[in-house]
Amino acid sequence: MTSQGIDTTITDRGADRLAPGPTELGDVLLPGDDGYDDASGAVFALGAPDVIVRPRDPGEIAAAIEYATGSCLDISVRAGGHSPAGLSTNTAGVLIDLSHFDRIVVLDRTARRVRIGAGATWGAVSDALAEHGWAITAGDTRSVGVGGLTLGGGIGWLVRKYGLAIDSVVAADVVLANGQLVRATVDENPDLFWALRGGGGNFGVVVSLDFIAQPITSVYYGSIAFALQDVPAMVAGWRDAMRAADENLTSTLVLMPPMMGRPAAAMVLCCYAEPDERAADAALEPLRALGSVVADTVRLMPYSQVLEDAHHPPGIRIVARNTLLPRLTDEVISGMARAFECEQMMLTLRSLGSAVARVRADATAYAHRASEGMLLAGIMLPMAATEAEIDQALSDWKPLAAQGSGPYINFQGSATPDDVAAAYPPETYQRLSLIKRRYDPENIFRRNHNVPPAAG
Ligand SMILES: Cc1cc2nc3c(=O)[nH]c(=O)nc-3n(C[C@H](O)[C@H](O)[C@H](O)COP(=O)(O)OP(=O)(O)OC[C@H]3O[C@@H](n4cnc5c(N)ncnc54)[C@H](O)[C@@H]3O)c2cc1C
């Protein structure tokens, strides 16, 4: 049965396996317990939850949900804890920490089908898959979680060849707001499966995701650093080079403002997804010609060494905003050059297109399939910056954001209703809100880039 194109049959795979109850919350940490202080905060937030729960099975997740809703407490769901909007924890609520859901299991060697616990990190995944000569295109950072990155979309170093992380997902196991454990695939609960691929943490607690891994062993990866002279010329050159590049090449242009005594600089990070030196050199040649090269670290390496550890500059608050760019026009490039002049904004341009664009815009909740790139601003402010100072700093970003088609939720450092509405085309947002009504009508999963349930 369908309503406005939405399948209305929820297929329940395991309600009988669950035994929810407030006494079965699994590992619990309370304020004052050893380990509570470390566990309560996250990369971008200092939290003070009433209870931190580390469930070991879906039944314990259901029990934690029941406990939280019965006690009228907010719920945060944490996988790797990297939400730039600080959503990985809360104050006076329940934090469901999925760090015990970190198993990586090969289900089918021939099909390269792998089940990955949502609490695993991408570093652990790339290490485990390397043993098989496989990889999954995901992010660029080892400690980022499978849960958060995948539910938002997942832009990684193989994105132009293999698409977003969600494009490799074939199934998800999810504990819903009512405690049911359900599976989502193209055949089972297909509306939920659609919504999970880009709709964030709105629809339940994802226990695990099944991916089809890609056969990848070694890639050419590294950075090419330039003396920064003419910002518009460099950005236009990067754009033209990436438009002409074969899809094995994914790259990111980084414009760094003067920082810690160092002058402004530019760098192109690149990954060529084949261990073919001649082809890699040919693809990289237009990038190397973008300016005067001061360092070049590109070399053949196992894909598992490509993901890096995150380094957050000490004493600096980074306010992250982004927009997806349908076209990197000359007007956008002039805007970037103007914004960069404020000297507190790091600008990062990630290449998209190719495999991302081959998926229909309405095939998943991530709808920005036609975007040429993603522009991310990391605005660097003192730790003690006030809201007024943040607003002032954002005034340099807003004209640029206005030229994009909306933010990618995973890199958006705020989660206001306006941010969320802007992240989805209206028809995608409406479809998400209808699915939300079906799976979480009370909006108990609201500490996320929240799509409230449709009325009625
Ligand atoms: C240093 C750094 C590097 C990054 N690099 C990339 C990159 O290369 N590519 C990219 O696409 N993104 C990247 N990101 C953005 C990243 O994808 C998001 O921050 C993502 O939300 C992080 O996932 P997490 O599991 O670590 O975070 P968490 O904070 O644990 O999760 C973020 C949100 O996702 C939801 N969530 C997480 N797990 C579940 C679950 N199992 N069930 C239901 N809801 C869940 C919750 O709403 C949670 O608040 C990066 C972020 C940082 C800080």
Assess whether 264 and 404 both reside in one domain. yes
pLDDT band at 21 (very low <50, low <70, confident <90, very high): very low
Which CATH number covers residue 327? 3.40.462.20
Between residues 8 and 242, which one has the greater pLDDT?
A: 242
Assess whether 284 and 250 both reside in one domain. yes
Choosing from 56, 79, 97, the residue where a domain stops is 97
By residue range, what is the domain housing residue 288? 218-419
Q: Do the domain assignments include residue 426?
A: no
The percent of residues in the chain predicted with pLDDT above 90, rounded, is 84
Q: CB of 140 closer than 6 A to ligand 1?
A: yes
Q: Do the domain assignments include residue 453?
A: no
Assess whether 34 and 108 both reside in one domain. no
Question: Which residue, by CA, sits nearest to atom 3 of ligand 1?
Answer: 141
Q: Do the domain assignments include residue 432?
A: no
Quote the ligand 1 centre to 253 CA distance (angstroms): 22
The percent of residues in the chain predicted with pLDDT above 70, rounded, is 95
Question: Which residue, by CA, sits nearest to atom 53 of ligand 1?
Answer: 82
Is 446 in contact with 17 (CB distance < 8 Å)? no
Q: CB of 83 closer than 6 A to ligand 1?
A: yes
Assess whether 27 and 82 both reside in one domain. yes
Work out the burial of residue 278: count CB atoms within 10 Å of its CB; fewer than 13 is exposed, 13-18 middle, 19 or more buried: exposed
Assess whether 191 and 278 both reside in one domain. no
Q: Classify residue 381 by its DSSP letter.
A: E
Assess whether 312 and 385 both reside in one domain. yes
272-330 pLDDT, tens per residue? 999 999 999 999 999 999 999 999 999 999 999 999 988 777 778 889 999 999 999 99
Quote the ligand 1 centre to 373 CA distance (angstroms): 19
153-211 pLDDT, tens per residue? 999 999 999 999 999 999 999 999 999 999 999 999 999 999 999 999 999 999 999 99
Assess whether 234 and 339 both reside in one domain. yes
Is 412 in contact with 419 (CB distance < 8 Å)? yes
Pairwise CA distance, residues 68 & 22, whole Å: 9
Q: Do the domain assignments include residue 433?
A: no
The pLDDT of residue 231: 94
Which CATH number covers residue 190? 3.30.465.10
Number of Cβ within a 10 Å radius of residue 347:
23
- Out of 103, 144, 192, 352, mutate this one to test ligand 1's pocket (max ligand atoms within 8 Å of CB): namely 144
Phi-psi region of 259 (alpha: psi -120 to 50; beta: other; left: phi over 0): beta
Q: Do the domain assignments include residue 435?
A: no
Please say if the pLDDT value at position 3 is more than 70: no
349-395 pLDDT, tens per residue? 999 999 999 999 999 999 999 999 999 999 988 888 898 988 988 99
141-154 pLDDT, tens per residue? 999 999 999 999 99
Q: CB of 147 closer than 6 A to ligand 1?
A: yes
The count of structural domains within the chain is 3
Assess whether 292 and 401 both reside in one domain. yes
User: Which pair of tokens denotes residue 216?
Assistant: 């990848």
Q: Do the domain assignments include residue 396?
A: yes
Please say if the pLDDT value at position 110 is more than 60: yes
Quote the ligand 1 centre to 143 CA distance (angstroms): 10
316-331 pLDDT, tens per residue? 888 999 999 999 999 9
The residue-averaged pLDDT of 12-22 equals 41
Assess whether 233 and 326 both reside in one domain. yes
Q: CB of 174 closer than 6 A to ligand 1?
A: no
Assess whether 313 and 392 both reside in one domain. yes
The residue-averaged pLDDT of 119-139 equals 97
Q: Do the domain assignments include residue 397?
A: yes
Q: Do the domain assignments include residue 361?
A: yes
Ramachandran angles phi, psi of 361, nearest 5°:
-60, -30
Question: Which residue, by CA, sits nearest to atom 17 of ligand 1?
Answer: 149
Please tell me the pTM assigned to this model.
0.94
The residue-averaged pLDDT of 229-235 equals 94
Assess whether 65 and 154 both reside in one domain. no
